[in-house]
């Protein structure tokens, strides 16, 4: 394969953002698209290169590999016998290295736990749409007084990486750096565990948390409670993240700010038209169902849904018709229906006038074919 630089082909710098990569790709792809350049092998070649470059650079993990090792790093086993098992090693090393996404040089904290943590909070459907106050108990970690949170009474330089925090692996003519698995990159290992905390580095503390849940929150929303996370040895606390788990309702189905409610209507009411009272979060509403409404027909009550978290407005309530037919008929009901049916005369058999004509027509077609 011809060697070319992914950044050069897209005319972008090596430090550009994903947004810029996407923009550059769109522009170039449009310019060199085969539809715009018929019978132009040169444009086709460039178009292929642009796509190849974008495929790599739009993937942060692949991009990092490319930045460090060039195309050879990405092609894995393609180089032949010498590179056997290459892909797997990449997976292991880079999975660990870039698994977190952004922070390549994550600052290693001495703590054995993170300062931020998350917990889940269950909410009733109505608590989410109206908002509420919630009080719950949270267990957070405070750094062990004796070891300051690192869990060690005595530490020494990691014998595997000699304090570097990373290991270098030789693969053919290339060298890879891997976070030392023995010390997790800290360069030190615990020789003797802290006896106060048993090596954990923390003790648990409980506290009551009271939060105000705003009107309109939805399932999966996350709220940050600043300063209620775990504490380090100086008493500085991280943040607590509360993930909301909202129960479903028996009658309302929520879709963002809109609420759906199913309105079952008996078939006779559909033919006659009717009025029904339907619930909405703030008041009862009157739904006028015109005669001959279709199954699944929707009627929108603007502003009767859930309050938006983004602004001072409400979504809609959408009432959806579900036609209900009788499952069983008594003898008397059957007779009544038959009587009703007959009362419509020829209108009760619309298939006759329409389909008899069609049958005649098709018969004629066959007649003509036979000739
Ligand atoms: Zn300790
Ligand atoms: Zn080490």
**pLDDT greater at residue 131 or residue 80:** 131
Cα separation, 147 vs 165, in Å, equals 21
C-alpha of residue 191 to centroid of ligand 2, in Å: 13
Ligand of minimum distance to the alpha carbon of 187: 2
CATH of the structural domain 6-98, one choice from 1.20.1440.230, 1.10.260.40, 1.20.120.1200, 1.10.287.110: 1.10.287.110
In the predicted model, what is the mean pLDDT of the chain? 85
Q: In terms of CATH architecture, what is 113-136+207-248? A: Sandwich (2.60)
C-alpha of residue 114 to centroid of ligand 2, in Å: 20
pLDDT above 90 as % of the chain: 56
pLDDT digits (tens, 9 = 90+) for 193-211: 999 999 999 999 999 999 9
251 Rama class: left (phi>0) / alpha (psi -120 to 50) / beta: alpha
C-alpha of residue 72 to centroid of ligand 2, in Å: 28
Ligand of minimum distance to the alpha carbon of 158: 2
In the sheet with 258-266, reading across from the earlier edge strand, the strands are 252-255, 258-266, 317-324, 298-301
Q: Which fold has domain 252-324?
A: HSP40/DNAj peptide-binding domain (2.60.260)
Q: Residue 109's pLDDT is what? A: 64
The answer on pLDDT for 344 being more than 80 is yes
C-alpha of residue 155 to centroid of ligand 2, in Å: 12
Q: Residue 217's pLDDT is what? A: 95
**pLDDT greater at residue 355 or residue 227:** 227
pLDDT digits (tens, 9 = 90+) for 133-177: 999 999 999 999 999 998 999 889 999 989 988 888 877 777 788
pLDDT digits (tens, 9 = 90+) for 276-303: 999 999 999 999 999 999 999 999 999 9
HSE-CB at 333 with a 13 A cutoff on CA atoms is 7
**Taking CA 275 as the corner, what is the angle to CA 269 and CA 323, rounded to the nearest 5 degrees?**
40
Q: Residue 370's pLDDT is what? A: 64
119, 243 in Cβ contact below 8 A?
yes
C-alpha of residue 114 to centroid of ligand 1, in Å: 16
**pLDDT greater at residue 109 or residue 148:** 148
- Binned at pLDDT 50, 70 and 90, residue 37 comes out as confident
Cα separation, 338 vs 219, in Å, equals 51
Ligand of minimum distance to the alpha carbon of 143: 1
Nearest to 90 by CA among 108, 57, 105, 68: 68
Q: Residue 95's pLDDT is what? A: 34
198 Rama class: left (phi>0) / alpha (psi -120 to 50) / beta: left
Residue-range domain boundaries for the chain: 6-98, 113-136+207-248, 252-324, 331-370
60-74 and 86-98 helices, crossing angle to 10°: 150
pLDDT digits (tens, 9 = 90+) for 229-268: 999 999 999 999 999 999 999 999 999 999 999 999 999 9
Do 6-98 and 252-324 come out as alike in CATH topology? no
The answer on pLDDT for 368 being more than 80 is no
194, 201 in Cβ contact below 8 A?
yes
Residue with tokens 């503390």: 205
C-alpha of residue 147 to centroid of ligand 1, in Å: 4
C-alpha of residue 316 to centroid of ligand 2, in Å: 59
267, 254 in Cβ contact below 8 A?
no
Q: Residue 2's pLDDT is what? A: 62
183, 204 in Cβ contact below 8 A?
no
C-alpha of residue 180 to centroid of ligand 2, in Å: 5
Q: Residue 35's pLDDT is what? A: 76
Nearest to 302 by CA among 288, 285, 289: 285
């Amino acid at each position: 394969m011809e060697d070319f630089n992914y950044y050069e082909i897209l005319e972008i710098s090596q430090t550009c953002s994903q947004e810029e990569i996407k923009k550059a790709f769109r522009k170039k792809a449009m310019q060199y698209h085969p539809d715009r350049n018929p019978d132009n092998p040169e444009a086709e070649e460039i178009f292929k290169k642009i796509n190849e470059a974008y495929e790599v650079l739009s993937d942060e993990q692949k991009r990092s590999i490319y930045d460090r090792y060039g195309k050879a790093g990405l092609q894995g086993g393609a180089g032949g016998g010498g590179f056997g098992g290459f892909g797997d090693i990449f997976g292991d090393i880079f999975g660990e290295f870039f698994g977190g996404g952004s922070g390549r040089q994550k600052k290693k904290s001495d703590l054995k736990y993170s300062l931020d943590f998350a917990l889940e909070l269950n909410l009733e459907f109505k608590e989410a749409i109206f908002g509420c106050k919630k009080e719950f108990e949270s267990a957070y970690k405070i750094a062990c007084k004796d070891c300051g949170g690192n869990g060690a009474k005595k530490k020494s330089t990691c014998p595997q990486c000699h304090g570097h925090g990373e290991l270098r692996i030789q693969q053919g003519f290339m060298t890879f750096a891997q976070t030392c698995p023995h010390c997790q990159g800290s360069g030190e290992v615990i020789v003797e565990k802290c006896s106060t905390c048993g090596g954990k580095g923390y003790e648990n503390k409980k506290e009551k948390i009271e939060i105000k849940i705003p009107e309109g929150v939805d399932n999966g929303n996350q709220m940050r409670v600043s300063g209620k996370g775990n504490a380090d040895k100086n008493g500085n606390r991280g943040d607590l993240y509360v993930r909301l788990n909202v129960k479903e309702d028996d009658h309302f189905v929520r879709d963002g700010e809109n609420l759906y409610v199913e309105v079952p209507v008996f078939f006779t009411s559909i033919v006659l038209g009717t009025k029904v009272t339907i619930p909405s979060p703030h008041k009862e509403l009157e739904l006028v169902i015109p005669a001959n409404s279709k199954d699944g027909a929707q009627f929108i009550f603007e502003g009767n849904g859930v309050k938006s978290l983004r602004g001072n407005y409400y979504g809609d309530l959408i009432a959806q018709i579900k036609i209900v037919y009788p499952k069983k008929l008594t003898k008397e009901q059957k007779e009544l229906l038959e009587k009703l049916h007959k009362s419509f005369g020829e209108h009760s058999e619309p298939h006759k006038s329409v389909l008899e004509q069609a049958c005649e027509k098709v018969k004629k077609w066959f007649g003509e074919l036979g000739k």
